[in-house]
Amino acid sequence: MSTPRSRLLLPAGLLFAAVFIAAINLRSGISSLGAVLADALAAFGVGGSLAGVITAVPGLFFSLLGLLAVPLATRVGLSRTLFFGMVMSLVGLAARPWVGDIWAFIVLTVFVTVGIALANVLLPAWIKNHGGRHIVALMTVYGSVLGISGAAGPLTALLSDNFRWALFLWAIPAALQVLVWFTVLVRVGRDVPSSTAPRAATDAGPAKHVSLWRSPTAVFLMLFFGLQSMHAYIQMGWLPKIYIDHGVSASTASLALALAGSFNIAGGLIMPIIIDRLRSVVWLPVLFSALMAAGYVGLWLAPGFVPLLWSVFLGLGGFCFPTAIALIPARSRVPLVTARLSGFVQPVGYVIAAIGPLVVGIVRESTGGWSLILPVLAGICVLMGAAGFRAARASFVDDELAAQG
């Protein structure tokens, strides 16, 4: 059982080291592949359909593990579940670059993603369990370093002209992660998630039983989260390829992906504060969706004109992610509903996210270009802005569930 004493077993230095090394591994294993996807496809002699499968893997397993992670952690412990996922990621990152079969490559990509997906869901809960007075600081480290991870992933393509080495380099921080978390595991043992507000849980009334599908705010927040995640994984998997297909150099294409991802650092730091302080935030999803649409239109009509400018627009549009995450606690009153809302928004949303990269790969292979895909993606940004506008209204999921109870 998790107890207050179990939290004292972790000194501050180990807490921060554990969160930092976990966060730096949370996106790099995915975003590093997008930067060398074209080289990997050429090496295996496969086309866009299988590339679509590869780029759909993160969204699919983020969805699946979003449903399984908490029950698994409750059964075997937070640290044990996280450590198991980290070992899987290390195996995938270390072995994936050297296989000669595309299906082995895909299976090992699944290994990488399983570890990332478990940490994506459970690391905030682990911080809540063990952070003590450092929780706010640890969450700041988590949010900002997560953005660094997504931005740094593509940069390894600039360090090596061999895609295998560019991918393998990320096995180094993955190995460090396993070492740090083995130390954590030895100290804490089986640390099941603890309840932070049992009274709220028992007083939540209908909020415990009414389906979240009956809450308009929950449904629109799920759609907003899913659409922005779909764009994020399409960009991580395909943005360098889009640039390269339009005659932009591979180094500039990798830099463009890193630049777009770097905006997640700023977004993770400032968006929760902005949403907490502003009286009305309905315009934020609309603004960020419009900026992302402008990036796609620029890639469609003038990809070679200041190519990094379109990456900046896409990066600013990526503020939709921290906005969606911050809206989960902002649109719920009690911890029980916050937990239910997070467990609804993220798994269902990642199903939407998984579809996008797969469809892009199929359409890219059948049409041979991006002239259809890019304007459609810009149009989907309009839908994303509309869903975000409704999700950001000053209404609470708790009240909507109570009205249905």
272-282 pLDDT tens trace: 678 777 778 89
354-384 pLDDT tens trace: 788 888 988 998 998 899 999 999 999 999 9
DSSP 16-49: HHHHHHHHHTSSHHHHHHHHTHHHHHHHHT--HH
Residue 41 counted as domain residue = yes
**Residue 80 binned pLDDT confidence (cut-offs 50, 70, 90):** very high
Residue 3 counted as domain residue = no
Q: Which pLDDT score is estimated for 222? A: 93
Residue with token string 């180990």 = 14
Residue 187's CATH number? 1.20.1250.20
Residue 267 counted as domain residue = yes
**Do residue 273 and residue 173 come from a single domain?**
no
**Do residue 171 and residue 211 come from a single domain?**
no
**Do residue 30 and residue 58 come from a single domain?**
yes
Residue 259 counted as domain residue = yes
DSSP 291-328: HHHHHHHHHHH-TTSSHHHHHHHHHHHTTHHHHHHHHH
**Do residue 286 and residue 350 come from a single domain?**
yes
Q: Which pLDDT score is estimated for 207? A: 55
**Do residue 147 and residue 234 come from a single domain?**
no
Angle of helix 28-35 relative to helix 48-76, nearest 10 degrees, comes to: 170
Q: Which residue has the higher pLDDT, 121 or 381?
A: 381
Residue with token string 């595991």 = 185
**Do residue 305 and residue 341 come from a single domain?**
yes
Domain count across the chain: 2
Q: Which pLDDT score is estimated for 335? A: 57
Over residues 347-356, the mean pLDDT reads 79
Residues 6 or more apart whose CB falls under 8 angstroms from that of 332 comprise 338, 341, 396, 397, 398
Q: Domain range holding 135?
A: 9-194
256-310 pLDDT tens trace: 888 887 787 777 777 767 877 777 889 999 999 999 999 999 999 998 888 899 9
Q: Looking at the chain, how many residues does it have?
A: 405
The mean of the pLDDT values for the chain is: 83
Residue 91 counted as domain residue = yes
Look at residue 199 and tell me whether its pLDDT is greater than 60: no
**Do residue 204 and residue 329 come from a single domain?**
yes
133, 162, 194: which is the final residue of a domain?
194
160, 194, 228: which is the final residue of a domain?
194
Asked if 388 and 286 touch (Cβ cutoff 8 Å), the reply is yes
**Do residue 221 and residue 170 come from a single domain?**
no
Residue 4 counted as domain residue = no
